[in-house]
Amino acid sequence: MKEIKITKRAHEEIKRLFSQRTLINTLHSDPELTEIVDNFAFDDTLALADGKIMEKTRVMCILASTIGCNAMNEFKMYVDACLNVGVKPREIREIVYQAYPYVGASQVVEYTLRMNDIFENNGIRLPLDPQNTVAKEDAFRRGKELIDETFGYGTVDNMFATSPKGQEHIVEFLATYCYGQFYSRNGIDMQHRELITFCIVASMGGCDSQTLTHAKACKSLKITKEEMVAAATAILPWIGFPRTFNAINAINEAYNEKVI
């Protein structure tokens, strides 16, 4: 069906990204809304990301944001889009896995099931090859190493020292579960993993301190401010302006620039 007043770029982008455009296209009942949203999401914002981050990275960031803001329909669309632009199934899986310690198992289990449905419908054999690199007994040690490498030597020891009595186990779980068992995985590199985490946390809302923490982590991993702003711009249509302003403020603060 012809999309009225959709720009050429938006039309081509939608056609190229999505195998079946049914979940977001509301042309039948809401042509005005479709025109506004499509032109913004698939032309205006993308034009500002061009040349700043790779297309695969951009689409991976949007996929991550759909988990963070609990948007199942858009998530399914962007699993499809990821496959269509050459993101490997194991990379898609790692984005979903990376959401577990941040969004929580109660939500992300459903995203894992829907991802696997899409994989099977595309003839992708499951289970995928394992990407775990650390035995459970070594997870704390490896997680501590990764945190210290990202945030500075002694970070975990300082967190233990400053934790209120009876709450030290949260720091241990952070090192063991979040970093030791997820950040240590293969499948995507550390830069992409941290950028994905930033997009997940920024999309959740109400996590401003954690958004800043992960913006600083991205800077520590040599992701440029230009790349960070491009990623925040790409996810803007999916997460809205308030959360995007919070993300941009975190980026500005992490990179020592003026906060909006």
Q: Is the residue at 221 inside a domain?
A: no
Q: Structural domain tally of the chain?
A: 1
Provide the pLDDT for residue 23. 47
Q: Which residues of the chain have pLDDT under 50?
A: 1-2, 22-23
Q: Is the residue at 148 inside a domain?
A: yes
Provide the pLDDT for residue 113. 98
Q: Is the residue at 152 inside a domain?
A: yes
Cβ atoms < 10 Å from Cβ of 73: 12
Provide the pLDDT for residue 48. 86
Q: Is the residue at 237 inside a domain?
A: no
DSSP 15-26: HHH-SS--SS--
d(CA 56, CA 58): 5
Provide the pLDDT for residue 20. 63
Q: Is the residue at 42 inside a domain?
A: no
Expressed as residue numbers, the domain containing 162 is 132-184
Provide the pLDDT for residue 29. 77
d(CA 150, CA 78): 29
Q: Is the residue at 84 inside a domain?
A: no
Provide the pLDDT for residue 19. 76
Q: Is the residue at 246 inside a domain?
A: no
Q: Is the residue at 241 inside a domain?
A: no
Cα 156 to chain centroid, rounded = 24
